[in-house]
Every structure is written in C-alpha cells, then in structure tokens.
Amino acid sequence: MSHTENTQASTMERSNKSAREIFEDVWANPNRAPFGFGTKLAIVNVDPQKSYTRPDLFPKTAYITDPLQIRHIDRISWEARRKNLPVVWTHVAYMENAADAGVWGTRTNTPDSLQNIKRGSQRSEFDDRLRIDSAVDAVYVKQMPSAFHDTPLNSFLNWHRVDTVVVTGGSTSGCVRATAVDSLSHGYRTIVPIECVADKHESYHFANLTDLHLKYADVVSVDAVLAWISAYEGDR
C-alpha cells in the first residue's frame, strides 16, 4: 500500500471567524435540506428553572439570550397543549448529599455548584412566568444533560406516537444540545426554535446551533413552530 503517514498533513479547515459568523453563514445556506416536521410533535422544555432563568436571583448561573425566551416557550407550550400535543418539562435537582450527581459533584462545592441545586430548592423551581399544567404535562426531574437520560421521556413519546421533538430551554451548549442529539438518536425529527434557547456566552450558543443545524436538527424561528401547531388537525 502506497498510503503512508508521511503523505498526510492536517486538512482541518482554518478560519478566524467567530462562532456567530460561522452560524450566520450556515443558517443562511439556501441549499441545506431540512429534516422537516413529521406528523405529531411534542414540546420538550429543558430546565427552564430559576437557577438558569433568573439572573436577578442567581447571577452566576442564570443567563438571558433572547429577552422573550420564556414568553415564547410558554406560548408554544400553551398552543401545543390546546391541540392535545404532549408538553414536557424537565428540571435539574439532586439529593441532599448529591449522591446522584455523579462526576459532577466532584470538582467544586459552592452554592453555585451544579450538585447544589437541591430537590425542592428555589434553584430547582420552574420559572414563575411559565404556565405548567401539571395535570396534563409530563414533568421530570433529571440529573444529567439530556432530557432523555434516565427519564421516561422516550417511552412517553413513543406511547403517544410522537415523531417530532421541539427542544427549548438551556443551555444551548449543554442540556439543549444533549437532548437534541438524543432525540435524533432515538428516531425523532428534531426542531430547535432559536428564540427559545439560551446560553451565557455567544460563542457557545452559536457554535452549538451550528452543530445542531448541520447534523442533528432544524434550527428555525419560533414562528415556524407556531405555524405548524396552528395547522395541526390532530391524530389522523
């Protein structure tokens, strides 16, 4: 074989662009084929809890990207519920001794450390601006990034014959990304309404939107989700 290591050099594309600039190019590409919506969607709202949504209370862990994020999340959840489409909410919370925080409990131990979002604490509470109907919506406590990991989410979606998952919440570079990857992996078309996801740093936010849009999901405007729900006529 004439192929040898000697002939190889790095082929990695170089660029001085910021992650935002790269995302803007990727998102504007008219030739990208979308995954598209399927026949029945669910809204999966990942960790819209005070620890992440209320910088006034928790300035070191909370962040706002789009100031209307919570309003948009609430709106699409409300409209989906009206059409009997499943709405799911997850929040992160750990045991008092953080025995369920795994590796995440090992590095730091400050009030802002992840493992110190205790069950029942204010940090674990959903944002008050969200209208969660706990008689109808599924609510899961989770410990790890993906909303699918160690929760009933996949069985729930499967039973309700959902084929499309709309992911909102935060962070874009953390739990949203992990949830979207698992959503695709389990066989769902995956939609990320850009106004509904947030991160504390634009580079993390846009770099992950790029990965999502290129590989795993359709990054769309929240209006596209609202339009789909509005046109939905129920289970065939």
d(CA 122, CA 126): 9
Residue from the set 181, 194, 219, 225 that interacts with a copy of itself by CB under 8 A: 181
Residues 183-212 that bind a copy of itself (CB under 8 A): 184-190, 198-205, 207-208, 210-211
The single residue of 76, 87, 175, 198 carrying the catalytic annotation is 175
Geometric angle at alpha carbon 151, from 145 and 153, rounded to 5°: 100
Least spacing, CB of residue 200 vs a copy of itself, in Å: 6
Whether 175 is a known active-site residue: answer yes
Residue placing its CB nearer to a copy of itself in the complex, 79 or 127: 127
Instruction: Note the residue count of the chain.
Output: 236
Residues 19-78 that bind a copy of itself (CB under 8 A): 19, 22, 33-36, 54-56, 62-68, 70-71
Question: How many C-beta neighbours within 10 Å does residue 158 have?
Answer: 13
d(CA 9, CA 26): 26
Residues 101-130 that bind a copy of itself (CB under 8 A): 102-104, 106-108, 128-129
Number of amino acids touching a copy of itself (CB under 8 A): 94
Backbone angles phi, psi at 96, to 5 degrees: -55, -40
Cβ 171 vs Cβ 207: under 8 Å: no
Determine the interface stretch with a copy of itself among 41-49, 75-83, 169-177, 221-229 (rule: CB under 8 A).
Answer: 169-177
Least spacing, CB of residue 224 vs a copy of itself, in Å: 17
Residue from the set 49, 77, 143, 168 that interacts with a copy of itself by CB under 8 A: 143
Q: Which two tokens stand for residue 72?
A: 């948009």
d(CA 71, CA 195): 10
Taking CB under 8 A as the rule, does residue 82 contact a copy of itself? no
Cβ 68 vs Cβ 74: under 8 Å: no
Catalytic residue ranges: 175
